[in-house]
Amino acid sequence: MRTLKWDPMFDPEEKTSIVTAWISFPTLPLNFFGKEAIFALASAVGKHLQLRMATQKKTRSSCAKDKVEVDLIGDSPTRINMGVRKKTREVVEKWVAIKYD
């Protein structure tokens, strides 16, 4: 079974490579659980659709989750490099893993 984006003109005979999927960021530090940070990370995978409620409320600090539209054609990233600015203004690279549910 595949979950597809709702379309009023849905044709079951037409093939599509766009699906909705939950992605998670298991190594994302809790201070980056804000909507803007997660939306920016998720945009590397596809179009943001829905942020998990536990992520919004920061009740599960072990993993941030977001629902995105994913194009199955092409490579999907397994990690994202993000720059983190320290108090000294120095930017440090941090790799954030992406898990596809």
Please give the full DSSP string across the chain, using - where no structure is assigned.
-------TT--TTS---EEEEEEEETT--GGG-SHHHHHHHHTTTSEEEEE-HHHHTT--TT-EEEEEEEESSSPPPSEEEEEEE-TTS-EEEEEEE-EE-
Could you read off the pLDDT of 73-97 as tens digits, one per residue? Answer: 888 899 999 888 888 889 889 899 9
Place of tokens 């992520």: 55
The confidence score (pLDDT) of residue 4 equals: 65
Average pLDDT, the chain: 86
pLDDT at position 51 over 70: yes
pTM over 0.85: no
Comparison of pLDDT for 16 and 79, the residue scoring more: 79
pLDDT value of residue 8: 82
